[in-house]
Amino acid sequence: MGASGMSRRDFLRIGGGAGAGLFFIGQVGGLPFKIPVAAAAIPGGSLDPTTVPKYQTAMLIPPAMPRAGTATMPGGKPVDSYEISVRQFAQQILPLGFRPPTTVWGYGAVAAQRSGGLKIHNAPSLTIEAQHNRPVRVKWINELVDGSGNFLPHLLPVDPTLHWANPPGGTADRDTRPTFTETPGRYTGPVPLVTHAHGAVGVGDESDGYAEAWYLPAANDIPAGFATEGTWYDFFQGKAAASYGATWGPGFATFQYPNLGRAGTTWYHDHVLGMTRLNVYAGPAGFYIIRGGPAGDAAVLDSRTGLRASFPGPAPREGDMFPPNKRYREIPIAIQDRSFNDDGSLFYPDTRAFFDGFAGPYIPDTDISPIWNPEFFGNMIMVNGNTWPFQTVEQRRYRFRFLNGCQSRFLILDFNNIPGVEVWAIGNEGGFLAAPVNLTVDSRNRLLMGLAERADLIVDFTNVQVGNHVLANVGPDEPFGGGEPPDDFDVADPATTGQILQFRVVPSTTVDASTPPEFLQLPAITPLPPATVTRPLALLEEASAFHDGPAEALLGTVAGDPNVAPGVWSKRLWMDPVSENPAVGATEVWELYNATEDAHPMHIHEVHFEVVNRQDIVVDEDAETVRTAGSPQPPEPWEIGFKDTVIAYPAQVTRVRIRFDRPGQFVWHCHIVEHEDNEMMRPYRIGPAQLGQPA
């Protein structure tokens, strides 16, 4: 865990497990539990979060991204095209008048087919509205340059000792972990970007935002000898030209998304090797909503009548006025944590000492990177680009599409400060659930959200008293290991990170014609076929040889069958050869054996999967083995359907069933972005190696 409270090593020492080399975590309420740990104020920048006024700013409802036009594929199929860039700009994140605007990065349209199209950049960005089975083509442009066309350095401290994009290494040493004769300072050169559409299904690998397919801006002053594109850029450029006639060039790449997944909430963000945590923290992200198809809204019935159900709406649409002249009742809500300096600038640690007090020596004299922090928890909550905003709602039903966009923070949304509210979960990352889940009755008005998970909720304010009510967060201000607050961990600081946003409830002005969620008959879930391969995999942490703390997070493979005898794990680095190579069309069960003390939100690119079950395991750290114990437990009700991110709890194996349909090179990783950036990401390949692909 971070600088607040005791270290994770201290926790194990107190728990008695570390000395024996074995630990076993039981279950309470269906989730693994840990001994409570002490809480302390969350460190951050020079701006004290308790001084920031709350609920001064109306929550931004992201408008729809304007299309640049419509293209036509061979055969006549239409394609919606966009031109979207990342720029640096000032945005009023803190309350107006309290501090100056914050310099951030964000996506925005640079072309619009309609006059008056919203060509604005924001963090988070505008929402791409897509239709099932109607492709979207995006020209993603890296415009991190100043007014003179010179590159802009990173807003945040880049650690060049990780295995990262490494443009200074040139074409020979890009995408490597560089070696040094003395501890380097932060990287200050041009910034690489590559966009990943998180949750895209059936996308070609050339359009997935592969971590080594980055590109620098087309700046005037790129230093001589720098690599301007990642290792896989040229190969994917050729595939894009051959597959859909796209042109790539200096400072941009053009990706195409077939939108084959079920209607649901996806999102887009940067995915550069070894820099994702910094690039996303600087601001670039946005929602990408797929509508229609056989599992879209029109396929949902009202069980009382057998007719099409009605959802709360409207949602923002392309061409809407901005600021809007209508009341939206379907709203995407991105929750992120941030820290700030007193001048309003973003704060992110520039030394490992922030995490656990270790002040060096660093690489090359030890195995500790000088800047990378194993986790980071912002001490303020930002919602749709503003700290602690408010949203006015009527006494009626709303549809909220929540995203946990934090760095390392698991959220537990808590609606209990809103007396009379009723909350239903109807969907997650892969679209609608098998059936609506009454969170008010079944989960005490709470919902756990791991990093990058999405939740499609119907929130009914009909019986809520007129007035102001706060949506709370009772997740921890530290790494999450499962359990229930307050018995198993201390809740987030009630004065700061324990508050998310304020709902200002007013009387309804019209009759609510939406279908009550208990009468929603959601589209049937067609299970994936039985698996022909079971693949045991390991989630690991590498302890430093020089310091009582982690040097990196890792993934690995497990030899043998831990259901029969202890399976031995092997650690795998990003640079190691592909070890997960499903056949095209195969269905597999991936078993994620978590041998660390933290829960990890695991994301697998290119696919949606089913959560099969979870089962306790016994971990022998000395022998580096795992074995199962007890009986498997079914997935949570809000996990039944299809997902792209799943919480893997400590001392458990989490099993997911996956079908692999499109060949190519993709990745799987932990979505604690600090972990992802330091080896907790691995390439995987569907089908055979491609002719001409990079070694």
Q: What is the DSSP string of 656-681?
A: EEEE--S-EEEEEEESSHHHHTTT-E
| Residue 639 DSSP code | G
Cα-flanking dihedrals φ and ψ of residue 554, to 5°? -140, 160
**What's the burial of 147, exposed, middle or buried (CB within 10 Å: 0-12/13-18/19+)?**
exposed
For 362, residues 6+ apart whose C-beta sits below 8 A from its C-beta are 161, 183, 352, 368, 369, 370
Residue range 536-548, pLDDT digits in tens: 999 999 999 999 9
pLDDT for res 40 = 53
- Region of residue 479 (phi > 0: left; psi between -120 and 50: alpha; otherwise: beta): beta
pLDDT for res 524 = 95
d(CA 168, CA 218): 16
Low-confidence stretches of the chain (pLDDT < 50) are: 1-39
Token digits for 633? 């437990």
pLDDT for res 74 = 80
Confirm if 392 and 58 have CB atoms less than 8 A apart.
yes
Indicate if the alpha-carbon torsion angle 129, 610, 272, 135 is positive or negative. negative
Task: Please report how many Cα atoms fall inside a 13 Å half-sphere around the Cα of residue 606, on the Cβ side.
Answer: 26
Strand ranges, E, within 112-184:
121-122, 128-131, 136-142
Reported residue count of the chain is 695
From the list 458, 465, 466, 428, the residue with the least C-alpha distance to 440 is: 458
Residue range 329-352, pLDDT digits in tens: 999 999 999 999 999 999 999 999
Confirm if 171 and 197 have CB atoms less than 8 A apart.
no
SS (H, E, C) 503-552: EEEECCCCCCCCCCHHHEECCCCCCCCCCCEEEEEEEEEEECCCCCCEEE
pLDDT for res 1 = 32
pLDDT for res 21 = 30
Which contiguous run of DSSP H or E holds residue 563?
Answer: none
Confirm if 514 and 311 have CB atoms less than 8 A apart.
yes
Give CA torsion, residues 269, 273, 277, 278, to 10 deg: -90
pLDDT for res 26 = 34
d(CA 298, CA 293): 8
Confirm if 431 and 518 have CB atoms less than 8 A apart.
no
From the list 27, 8, 19, the residue with the least C-alpha distance to 487 is: 27
3-state class of 203 per DSSP? coil
d(CA 493, CA 231): 44
d(CA 107, CA 122): 6
Confirm if 22 and 620 have CB atoms less than 8 A apart.
yes
For 245, residues 6+ apart whose C-beta sits below 8 A from its C-beta are none
Q: What is the value of pTM for the model shown?
A: 0.94
d(CA 608, CA 658): 7
Q: Which amino acid is at 440?
A: T
From first CA to last CA, the distance across the chain in angstroms is 36
Q: Which amino acid is at 447?
A: L
Residue range 250-260, pLDDT digits in tens: 999 999 999 99
pLDDT for res 115 = 86
Inter-CA distances, 137 with 76, 110, 118, 238, 296, Å: 15, 14, 18, 16, 21
Token digits for 35? 């001994």
Confirm if 664 and 681 have CB atoms less than 8 A apart.
no
Confirm if 55 and 389 have CB atoms less than 8 A apart.
yes
How far is C-alpha 506 from the chain's CA centre? 33
d(CA 446, CA 449): 10
**What's the burial of 32, exposed, middle or buried (CB within 10 Å: 0-12/13-18/19+)?**
buried
